[in-house]
Amino acid sequence: MNGKKLPDNSRGLQNIQHIVGGTYNILLVLVGVSFGKNDTSLGIVMAVLTFIVARLSSEISFQTSIKVVREYSNSKETLANSG
């Protein structure tokens, strides 16, 4: 993955998720436009790209959920240990 790492906090992942979600919506519109203009080959390419972006969005959402749970449980443990 070219040495790039996902952010360590859930807020950074949520920001990435918003960008990917916006890209997904734009691709959905382009798929509709491509098929509306009877450009089937471009429509199929756009549909494949849309599917890949949707899978990426799903994975980022899953990773965000895991980070949120970890952050919540860590903060809960910190409060329990300090009290």
Q: Which long-range contacts (CB under 8 A, 24 or more apart) does 70-76 make?
A: 71/9, 71/10
Total count of domains within the chain: 1
In a domain, 3, yes or no: no
In a domain, 29, yes or no: yes
pLDDT tens digits, 27-79: 888 888 887 888 788 888 888 888 898 888 888 888 888 888 888 888 777 76
In a domain, 61, yes or no: yes
In a domain, 14, yes or no: yes
In a domain, 39, yes or no: yes
* Domain limits for position 47: 10-75
In a domain, 5, yes or no: no
pLDDT tens digits, 9-34: 777 878 888 888 888 888 888 888 88
In a domain, 82, yes or no: no
16, two tokens: 């990435």
In a domain, 26, yes or no: yes
